[in-house]
Structure 1
Amino acid sequence: MISNSSNYAWSTSDPCDLLGSNRVGSNSQTVSANQLLDDCLKNRPVPTNTWWQNLLLAAGDQPVVTSPYIVRCLEGAVAVCAPTPLVHERYVASVWHDDWKLHFADCQHRRVIAYDPLSVIVAYSNDGQAVATVPLVRGSAFTSAIFDVSQRLRLTTTHAILRIDMPFGNNGTAVIYLNNGSVWLICCESHASLQQSGISEIESCEPLSGSVRLALVSSSCSPVDNEQAAIESLLFAREAVPIGGQVNVDGSCEERALFTISWQVKGSGSLLMYALPHHQMSLQLSDPGCYWDDSVAAQWTSRGQMRAVVGQQWQWYEEIEPIGFSGQTPLTAEHRGNLFNFVAADAQSLVEKAKSLPQDPYFFGKAVARAARIALIADEINDNESRDLAIDQATNWLEPWLNGTNADYFVYDLEWSGVISKAGLSDPMADFGQGLYNDHHFHYGYFIYAAAVIAKLRPEWKDQNQEQVDILVRDFFNIAPSVDTYFPFIRCFDFFDGHSFANGLFAFADSRNQESTSEAINAYYATYLYALMTDRLDIAYYARAVLQLEARTSRIYWHLDDLANDIYPEEYAKNQKIVGILWSTKADYATWFGSNPEFIYGIQFLPYTPAMTLLLKRKWIADIWPQFLEKVANGSQTESWQEIIHLAYAVVDKKQTFEMNSKITNHDDGNSASNSYYWIATAPENSE
């Protein structure tokens, strides 16, 4: 996994001691009463945004996505689905159907008993006696269950079974043909004979133990050229059962960061897994015994076809694009002169804005980050008066949130080991679901950005406030959980999907989701800058690597026809070039706050900081501007959202963007005239 040395911990201080007893509470949605989590796991921070979160919420029976399969853990059974597509001009969704239910005899309880960044283990038991163990591992070519006690195998399906082939005799292996056109392989570690016991049911002729594995061989949306070759490849991998996975990130190289996934395996033989499109673009298959296996079906998912790969270790590089506090293109003398006017007016306006600051974390975060941007731009153009005025305001605004003297102060939640707002503690849905850990990286990313800027311009400030700022960044970016035991491992980021999830303790049938990729990028950008300003280079390099991966997967899965042009079907792709909300099982042209096209595109573009150069590239913006973005901007119902769309065009044509933006008088609450001008002036000119 990641290094657990103190170099990777922001702090090991107890948040309860740092905040004081009046800023500690317990969430109304409890961990301690959760019967779906084993007691041995309740004494350490529990994830709140992980891909398998549904196992801990409500009845624990909503889908979790292992990719390529979707799984539901039910009372006494585990249900497995190889999803099929439902394509609409506004969404691409995965259709759930009970392809298989694997039933466990005499089972009364199920609990999560172990997890790591890439797997979760669910145990089924009866009166404390283990019945079966289900390892759910990302990318597994099989869905597996391990029978801990001898029992008859019983499998049911929502489809009709057309026939069962046992080409290798009664050795626990069968090829099943279903009436929906799909073909499945069943492999039992115990060489028990299998028989059809009903139109939609299979059972073993005698009790068995050990692993039982199910794999899709082919279907209408995941066909194979040679069915026999596909079966043989799956059989070759039948004994290697993945039961976990660890991640290592080496971001110390200036040019590229190395990501390594090491799969933990039970049994012998070759491990067969499935890789998502962003893996396929970058995996280094140089190790002996590691190779693509295209005899196996490329399996359909709502985020593109997955490709089979053999090997127990995956490695890939993320190319590092230089990023810092300043824009990539130096300001000209003309730009500096024009910015003096904008900066002076914006800095002065902060004094008036101080009288009506937002009270909630999200909009306050945007406000204080806006003030910090104005200060930073003023510093770059040597307007010391405006710089000092803006940084004074940002500091004065931020400190009450850090010391808990504001109205909606931060509280350490003893249940889920995190920082939430006071309003979120009493009403979990308040402050955009703060109490349910919704959008924490979005919210706190703005705070951390402001803190990074203040630390740069007022180095003495960080010495007095560092521990309080650290609490916020520890909440969503703790990468040393065995050292900093007060927060879970990097709360929102998914190392298999390659991007963050935002939706916290909510049980959705479509599983996890994230809307604003750009705000996720802002969070990791801010983390990188703050780590640099507080002399924690190991964390800074790690954050830079995560930032780069988040940016790349955003361009693959949210930006249509940017880094990939075959992720989504034509019926969806021809109507728009953006995904508004990406779910585990769905790509949605929508937002949580409205259906206006400027919302759907714009929420992927803000806030405009130098980090947006990682996301907004010249070729993509130039390609989609004439048919899509220009119309979206012209049709915008508000100037502030129109400006957000306009500003994207700066990577294509600065002069035209200046002209379009000269008419804007109202800005987004996280933006300013100074920042808009600065972004256009410093946007990269050759960002392909």
Structure 2
Amino acid sequence: MHHLTKKNKPFLFPQTNSTVLPDPSNFFSPNLLSTPLPTNSFFQNFVLKNGDQPEYIHPYLIKSSNSSLSVSYPSRFFNSKVISQVFNPDFTITSSTKCSNEKHIISSYNDLSVTLYIPSSNLRFFLVRGSPFLTFSVTQSTPLSITSIHAILSFTSNDSLTKHTFQFNNGQVWILYASSSIRLSHGISEIVSEAFNGIIRIALLPDSDSKTEAILDKFSSCYPVSGNAVFGKPFCVGYKWEKKGSGDLLLLANPLHLQLLCDIIDCDVTVLTGFKYKSIDGDLVGIVGHSWFLKTDPVSVTWHSSNGVTKEYHKEIVSALLKDVEDLDSSATTTTTTSYFYGKLIARAARLALIAEEVFLFDMIPKVKIKKFLKETIEPWLDGTFNGNGFLYDHKWGGIVTKQGCADSNDYIGTEFYNAQLNQLGYFLYGIAVLVKLDPDWGRKYKSQTYSLMEDFMNLSTCSNPNYTRLRCFDLYKLHSWAGGLTEFADGRYQKGTSEGINAYYSATLIGLAYGDANVVATGSTLTAFEIKAAQMWWHVKKGGNMYEDEFTEANRMIGLAWSNKRDMELWFGYLGARQCLLGIQVLPLVPISEVLFSDVDYVKDLVEWALPSLERDGVGEGWKGFLYALQGIYDKEGALEKVRKLSGFDNGNSFSNLLWWIHSRG
């Protein structure tokens, strides 16, 4: 997308030297420090603070601690409100010689892998997502130590000393494969080796079926060292791994991969349906093949609803529109300086212009007022004149932050640590896209700033824009985005509002439409489509579903916070069990793409019926009610309309006009 020419140098917002933002640590190898660094990645904990919080590299939790690395095949804790993967160091690997207190180094990383090097122990770990084997290279002749919190009940070796099997007293059986003979001895809970140089792979035996062990044996000699995602055709992504050794490559697919996996001539893969590992994301199933091809249903990104609004409903919407437009006041907006809430107000106003188009309101006054409002509220953020906040470029990590975020580390929805990057930038881009549509001359003037905002999170290649990391928030193994940024969390990254993530890629796609940029449209709509599929897979809890435990599934219809290692019904705000919030935060903002996200009418009905009783509690906000009634409008237009017309207030990114448009444009 957006290819550079000498005349088209990428725009940079003014630089910040924030003391709030952490410095990129010495965990990155020196050759990586000159490039934009990931700020929402699957291995982020490895480069934050002491680098010693675990990360989930499916199917194992991996924890690095100075000179050693610990591995856990996580157990699960669950009740009706939370599901959590529990880290217990099943074994810890290090050199058995005395090590200095050196830290690990990230020597390289890719879309699907990270290489973690421990110089003091001569160990280089190829942490490839979805590998049933922990693979590492012992870079020079070194004696090894493998310790466990469990007692070793049995230990056997083959004649060539290249395969060793050990069972712990917790029932786990692990198999160690070596590229050449390695002599091991063991005590109660420690295995030690003579000096060794070469490749070692360790895998959990997930069940007692002899076929499972035979599969691990068969594929133990081919190992991946890195993995990349390749975007070619729209709504498709290919996975390609760099492999070494001999034979075919065995990896694990999550349930979304299995849903999207295509059989095509160029990507010869075999699904091993009986070969499974447990995961918080559903069973991980064996796939044989060095490249995969994933294809999702196409999503048509449009400015307006797919059905349109029939003429009989125009009068009510026009009446609401005229009032909402009349109430627009850019001076009132400046009372909000937080980028997230400010962005919501911009997007709310932009919606009014598109609703006016849908009901053929050609009266110039509303559009002129909306255009004036959008210019007055957006321009100060793009030209650096907004008082109290504005966009800045952080050269330490390579990305867009805000003045307020750089000054205040308590700006919890802002960009101080690259948290919730999609949420706020998506709203700004929505407003900008509509303004470019209304005023192409304005769009030409601010195109470089607009592309800078978009490429902060939708940059496919540092060759096209060297200022930003590749796909800042999007997880190319899980196929959805993360928030959390540069904050260390024991449960990894999290995502609060899938719908706001979807809105960011949707809004970027609208930018592509507004500028006639086919590359941006293709990239944005593809990421939008994957994000929707992932939300439906992991956040939408369906009656009778088998993704999560029965106790949890029976009690819930929507996830609150999804973490790498946890599913939580408690939000950052509201009270525990506030179902109107749990629903609303996964619906807002209400835009045309919401139709695709909530296309399963039976599920929507169950979701609304699950959340409706929560509205009987005193003090429930009118804004939250609006999103619940909006979903009700998918299957019960009259009932929803009656409730919407009685609302006395709306979410700050929503309006009476928008709710009427939504309900009247249902099928």
Q: Same fold (TM over 0.5)?
A: yes
User: Do the aligned partners of 1:27 and 1:414 also contact (CA within 8 Å) in 2?
Assistant: no
User: Do the aligned partners of 1:519 and 1:607 also contact (CA within 8 Å) in 2?
Assistant: yes
Distance 1:8 1:173, change over 3 A: farther
Distance 1:456 1:14 in 2: 22
Indicate the residue corresponding to 1:238 in structure 2: 220
Q: How many residues align?
A: 657
Q: How does 1:440-479 map to 2 (within 5 A)?
A: 440-479=421-460
User: Do the aligned partners of 1:54 and 1:508 also contact (CA within 8 Å) in 2?
Assistant: yes
SS at match of 2:228: strand
Distance 2:649 2:550 in 1: 37
Indicate the residue corresponding to 1:121 in structure 2: 115
Q: Work out whether 1:591 is the aligned partner of 2:571.
A: yes
Distance 1:399 1:6, change over 3 A: closer
1:86 to 77, 90, 105: 77
Output one character per residue of 1:595-653: Cα deviation in whole Å (capped at 9) or x when no partner.
Answer: 32211121001000001112112434444147403223444712111111111122212
1:669 to 652, 657, 663: 652
Q: 1:559 is matched by which residue type in structure 2?
A: H
Q: Work out whether 1:427 is the aligned partner of 2:408.
A: yes
When normalised by structure 1's length, the TM-score is 0.92
Shift of 1:289: 5.3
Long gaps (5+) in structure 2: none
Output one character per residue of 1:131-179: Cα deviation in whole Å (capped at 9) or x when no partner.
Answer: 121111111111111100111221111111110122x324221121111
SS at match of 1:435: coil
Distance 2:286 2:263 in 1: 12
Q: 1:651 is matched by which residue type in structure 2?
A: I
Output one character per residue of 1:562-582: Cα deviation in whole Å (capped at 9) or x when no partner.
Answer: 8x9211001111111111111
Indicate the residue corresponding to 2:49 in structure 1: 58
Indicate the residue corresponding to 2:637 in structure 1: 654
Q: How does 1:534-553 map to 2 (within 5 A)?
A: 534-553=515-534
Distance 1:38 1:355 in 2: 44
User: Do the aligned partners of 1:145 and 1:213 also contact (CA within 8 Å) in 2?
Assistant: yes
User: Do the aligned partners of 1:170 and 1:194 also contact (CA within 8 Å) in 2?
Assistant: no
Q: 2:567 is matched by which residue type in structure 1?
A: A
Q: How does 1:120-269 map to 2 (within 5 A)?
A: 120-126=114-120, 131-166=122-157, 168-196=158-186, 198-204=187-193, 206-218=194-206, 223-224=207-208, 226=209, 228-252=210-234, 257-269=235-247
1:95 to 63, 86, 90: 86
Shift of 1:26: 4.3
Indicate the residue corresponding to 1:29 in structure 2: 21
Shift of 1:429: 3.2
Indicate the residue corresponding to 1:601 in structure 2: 583
Distance 1:667 1:36, change over 3 A: same
- After TM superposition, the structure 1 stretch with the greater mean CA deviation from structure 2, 603-612 or 378-387, is 378-387
Distance 1:11 1:439, change over 3 A: farther
User: Do the aligned partners of 1:172 and 1:194 also contact (CA within 8 Å) in 2?
Assistant: no
Output one character per residue of 1:267-316: Cα deviation in whole Å (capped at 9) or x when no partner.
Answer: 111111111110111212455752112443x2111121111111111112
User: Do the aligned partners of 2:330 and 2:377 also contact (CA within 8 Å) in 1?
Assistant: no
User: Do the aligned partners of 1:245 and 1:262 also contact (CA within 8 Å) in 2?
Assistant: yes
User: Do the aligned partners of 1:11 and 1:470 also contact (CA within 8 Å) in 2?
Assistant: no
Indicate the residue corresponding to 1:112 in structure 2: 106
1:302 to 280, 285, 295: 280
SS at match of 2:242: strand
Output one character per residue of 1:197-247: Cα deviation in whole Å (capped at 9) or x when no partner.
Answer: x2111122x2211111111102xxxx35x1x21111101111111111111
Output one character per residue of 1:74-118: Cα deviation in whole Å (capped at 9) or x when no partner.
Answer: 111110010111111101100110111111243534210111111
Q: Work out whether 1:681 is the aligned partner of 2:659.
A: no
Distance 2:8 2:477 in 1: 28
Output one character per residue of 1:467-493: Cα deviation in whole Å (capped at 9) or x when no partner.
Answer: 122221121111121231111111100
Distance 1:8 1:314 in 2: 30
Indicate the residue corresponding to 2:38 in structure 1: 47
Distance 2:250 2:662 in 1: 46
SS at match of 1:530: helix
Q: How does 1:322-361 map to 2 (within 5 A)?
A: 322-351=300-329, 354=332, 356-361=334-339
Q: 1:461 is matched by which residue type in structure 2?
A: W
Q: Work out whether 1:624 is the aligned partner of 2:600.
A: no
Distance 1:8 1:477 in 2: 15
Distance 1:284 1:87, change over 3 A: same
Q: 1:414 is matched by which residue type in structure 2?
A: H
Distance 1:144 1:618, change over 3 A: closer
Distance 1:526 1:427 in 2: 28
When normalised by structure 2's length, the TM-score is 0.95
1:615 to 586, 592, 597: 597
SS at match of 2:595: helix
- After TM superposition, the structure 1 stretch with the greater mean CA deviation from structure 2, 86-95 or 432-441, is 432-441
Distance 1:547 1:135 in 2: 30
Q: 1:640 is matched by which residue type in structure 2?
A: G
Distance 2:481 2:196 in 1: 40
Identity of aligned residues (%): 28
Q: 2:535 is matched by which residue type in structure 1?
A: S
Distance 1:642 1:163 in 2: 60
